[in-house]
Structure 1
Amino acid sequence: MGPRLHRTGTGTRIRHRTGQVGLITVLSVIAGLGLVGCSATSPGPTSARTSAPSATPSENATPSPSAAPVAAPVLRPELDAAANLDYFDAVAAAVVAADSGAGGRAFIDALARGGFDKAQMSVTFDDTSAELAADSIQFAVRMGEECLIGQNGPATGGYHGAVLPVLGSGTCLVGVTRQIDW
């Protein structure tokens, strides 16, 4: 079972900064540390976006003419969330490239156009209950018992994506989310 984050409050639209900071912290730790130190039996996340150091080519090496270009990622709905993270990230990166301050609807619409099931998506509010812009927004697509989770905003230093288990509540995101009714 994955990590559980709890947000308290009495209103249905209240977004507490502590809840955001908790999710931001979890995603930051996962993105920053990746799976370093995890064992095969560790109950940690299934996958996280990390960059591994590449091998340094020898000074006398020449590029191989038979080396094929890397294909763009594609949606593979028959596979798990980890297998679709690169595609999820590519779709989200295109949204951010078009508008670094894009709201939740832009991400949901792009993911739906990209072939993800809109009925399995969730997104946080773009504004706080005080009608201020949220520090970051989170959006997710549930794939079986895993979630593709994206987060973007100034508080997180831009876009980050990860694969995490479904929460005990059966959802991907903590707290109250927007109704996707468009």
Structure 2
Amino acid sequence: MPVSTTAANHHSDGQLSHRVAVYTGSFDPVTSGHLHIIERASKIFETLIVGIGINADKRPLFDIGERVELVSEVTCDLPNVRVETFDTLAVDFVRSLGSGVMVRGIRPLTDIAGEFTMLMANRQLDPAIETVFLMADERFAHVSSSLLKQIAMISDDDDHLAKFVPRQVVAAIRKQLRKSAT
């Protein structure tokens, strides 16, 4: 999916829009915690773009097309949300979309130090981009991709997995793990 610069998001004076926000991540897979952040951010901002990053150093469970499809499927009822991919620095991606706001979901126990370091680096790279942190709901504060993969490999019960990912994602995880095992 190509990344497009949307001129309509730029103010006439060249400033970045704060009505458009970008939530970046790998979303491998999209979790209920991610979806909760997306739903909340979509109520705050006029437009929310979910930016799925391509990281050549990581071995993802899902390829980029599958991740776009899964995120698009679980956000289809949110009309002001769209999904795009990027392979640049997140701040460069946010700026390319004319946005001045980056949304980050934060889990209280595990993410604060890393997110603070990222915030400071992003400020150095582009001081015009503001970062807005949304605290993960307590139901999702412990959910991570590695936890999901462990549960999926050990438990055959789809209801167990559905406690952590949207129902539509459960079958995709099962299929992917079967494919990986062969």
Query: Under a length normalisation based on structure 1, what TM-score does the superposition of the two structures give?
Result: 0.25
Structure number with larger C-alpha Rg: 1
Higher-strand-fraction structure: 2
Q: 1 or 2, which has the higher helix percentage?
A: 2
TM normalised by structure 2 equals: 0.25
